[in-house]
Amino acid sequence: MIQQQANMDWMLKDLAESVPQTRHVVVLSADGLRMAQYGTDTDTADRLAAACAGLQSLASAVGAELPHSDGQMRLVVIEMDGGFFYLMAAGARAYLAVLADEGVDAGLMGQRMRDLVLRIGEHLSSPPRQEGQDR
């Protein structure tokens, strides 16, 4: 995972620096484990990753109620006082999360996140865990 994070660092930095007002960028597995981060400390990234696991599960449950949906979450955007939170599916069992200050260009953020997901899709894939496998 260390090699995987090193391969993504520059790409996460590129996202953060190309969209003004970006605060934190985190890549996480579907089970809420931080895979890579930029612009934040490890503790904050771990908390965001854990919260995202619950959010993507909730979004998938809501999506399953749509008659023609596959139930897979693609994008969640939360607007709150002080900023925005984005969570985007980013490969098999992996997600890209971004926390941004208010004033962020939402269209630009969505575009840059999609571009990043396309560029590094294979790096963002998190294989399912096998019983007895080291974490």
pLDDT for res 30? 87
pLDDT tens digits, one per residue of 48-76: 999 998 998 898 888 888 898 887 888 99
The model's pTM? 0.83
pLDDT for res 2? 45
Pull the structure tokens for residue 88.
């985007």
Comparing 106 with 133, which gets the higher pLDDT?
Answer: 106
SS (H, E, C) the chain: CHHHHHHHHHHHHHHHHHCCCEEEEEEEECCCCEEEEECCCHHHHHHHHHHHHHHHHHHHHHHCCCCCCCCCCCEEEEEECCEEEEEEECCCCEEEEEEEECCCCHHHHHHHHHHHHHHCHHHHCCCCCCCCCCC
- Residue 28: pLDDT above 80? yes
| pLDDT-derived band at 130, boundaries 50, 70, 90 | low
pLDDT tens digits, one per residue of 7-24: 677 889 999 999 999 999
**How far apart (Å, rounded) are the C-alpha atoms in residues 47 and 28?**
11
